[in-house]
Amino acid sequence: MKVKKYDNYSIIEDVKDFDIGQTLECGQCFHFNKIDDNEYAFVSFNNLFAVKQKNDEIMINTTDDKKINVLIDYLDLNTNYGHIKKELIKRDDLLREAIEANWGIHILNQEFSETLMSFIISQNKQIQHIRKIVKGLSERFGEFLGSINGVDYYSFPDIDQISNISVDDYKELKTGFRAPYLKDASDKLVYYKASANALSDDIYIVDKKIKENVFAGMNEEMAREELKKIKGVGDKVANCVNLFSLSYRGAFPVDVWIKRIMESMYFKREASKEEIEKFALDLYGEYGGYAQQYLFFFGRENNLGK
DNA sequence: CTCCAGGCCGTCC
DNA sequence: GGACGGCATGGA
């Protein structure tokens, strides 16, 4: 991987096993818009990115090293997915089809507070509606970042902004019964930020500090249990935060889709959530999160088990 | 109209 | 500990 800078854009070259469309559309994040084939606008850590991919080249709308590094981290471009895919197929050849269909998925390294709030919102909701609510939350409480093709983009609110959001505000954003859950998560975020001693104005640095100073001392299970103290966070949401934000790539979130997919591919019968979690841990081990995402997107696109 | 959505909580046994 | 109804809102 190599970065070349031009007047007002840069190109990341030699990108392997990555597809921007598959990565953004596979259901792990909610804050993006498709502009054209292989071309997306999205918000990440207070940055508005426009990204266009052509084969193994990614063109981006900045020459700022800091932003480029945020993007490389966010898109997980330094991880060798060729190795991961080979390892998964070695463990289970049944995954081959799902992996080959979505060969370019990367697991994003998302901001902690956005991941937590987004997946609390996600319960009992369709992805399109989750995206609408995240957009509304950002427009109302985030910060204007710019516009692309006439569409305005706002940052996901930072923790200081989140601390000012009331239960009624959340209800106005059509979050329904999740409103008090989001309020509880807001309070916890303020607490995490304070205990991480994260004083910076830079949302990327604050996020890193929370991950390092609050969660890095925990293992995966401890982090999950800590997250489950938040109202509205159960195993599934906690696993999503672990996988998509806290770098626990072994986390295997079991939702209605994964349940259906695993039952149809492996069990050939109904199976409990716990049974599926144990099965996935035994089979995929520390690669569970990757397997989950290949399966999730593949299953959804092909309406597996429905 | 009914059914379901990247679930979880409170309550019951 | 496991089972079950309820839950706001919107889309199919």
What pLDDT, in 10s, does the model give residues A141-156? 999 999 999 999 999 9
A273 touches strand C (CB under 7 A): no
Same-domain pairing of A31 and A150: no
Same-domain pairing of A291 and A180: no
Domain that holds residue A270: 256-302
Same-domain pairing of A272 and A237: no
Q: Domain holding A26: CATH number? A: 3.30.310.260
Same-domain pairing of A267 and A295: yes
Last residue of a domain, one of A78, A98, A118: A78
Q: Give the Cα separation of A165 and A161 in Å (integer).
A: 7
Q: Does a structural domain hold residue A280?
A: yes
pLDDT-derived band of residue A306, with 50, 70 and 90 as boundaries? Answer: confident
Weakest-pLDDT range from A79-88, A177-186, A263-272: A263-272
pLDDT-derived band of residue A243, with 50, 70 and 90 as boundaries? Answer: very high
Q: Does a structural domain hold residue A101?
A: no
Averaged pLDDT of chain A: 97
In chain A, % of residues over pLDDT 70: 100
Q: Which two tokens stand for residue A101?
A: 């269909």
Q: Three-state SS across A84-131?
A: HHHHHHHHCHHHHHHHHHCCCCCCCCCCHHHHHHHHHHHCCCCHHHHH
Q: Domain holding A273: CATH number? A: 1.10.1670.10
Q: Residue A179, SS3?
A: helix
pLDDT-derived band of residue A170, with 50, 70 and 90 as boundaries? Answer: very high
Same-domain pairing of A274 and A222: no
Same-domain pairing of A128 and A160: yes
**Domain count of the fold of chain A:** 3
Residues packed against strand B, CB within 7 Å: A 26-28, 122-128, 130, 177, 181, 228, 231-238, 240, 253, 255-258, 292-293, 296
Weakest-pLDDT range from A128-132, A170-174, A299-303: A299-303
Same-domain pairing of A118 and A236: yes
A125 touches strand C (CB under 7 A): yes
What pLDDT, in 10s, does the model give residues A194-240? 999 999 999 999 999 999 999 999 999 999 999 999 999 999 999 99
Q: Does a structural domain hold residue A266?
A: yes
Q: Does a structural domain hold residue A103?
A: no
Q: Give the Cα separation of A254 and A235 in Å (integer).
A: 8
Q: Does a structural domain hold residue A83?
A: no
A285 touches strand C (CB under 7 A): no
Same-domain pairing of A158 and A119: yes
Last residue of a domain, one of A78, A102, A137: A78
A32-36/A39-44 β-pairing: antiparallel
A128 touches strand C (CB under 7 A): yes
Same-domain pairing of A65 and A182: no
Same-domain pairing of A72 and A151: no
Q: What pLDDT shows up at residue A305?
A: 81
pLDDT-derived band of residue A1, with 50, 70 and 90 as boundaries? Answer: confident
A55 touches strand C (CB under 7 A): no
pLDDT-derived band of residue A112, with 50, 70 and 90 as boundaries? Answer: very high
Q: Does a structural domain hold residue A102?
A: no
Q: What pLDDT shows up at residue A213?
A: 97
Same-domain pairing of A4 and A41: yes
Strand C nucleotides, any atom under 7 Å from protein beta carbons: they are: 2-3, 7-12
Distance in Å from B12's C1' to A304's CA comes to 35
Q: Does a structural domain hold residue A93?
A: no
Q: Does a structural domain hold residue A98?
A: no
Distance in Å from C8's C1' to A171's CA comes to 9
Same-domain pairing of A216 and A123: yes
In 3D space, the residue among A75, A130, A7 whose CA is nearest the CA of residue A244 turns out to be: A75
Distance in Å from B5's C1' to A103's CA comes to 27
Distance in Å from C3's C1' to A15's CA comes to 49
What pLDDT, in 10s, does the model give residues A32-89? 999 999 999 999 999 999 999 999 999 999 999 999 999 999 999 999 999 999 999 9
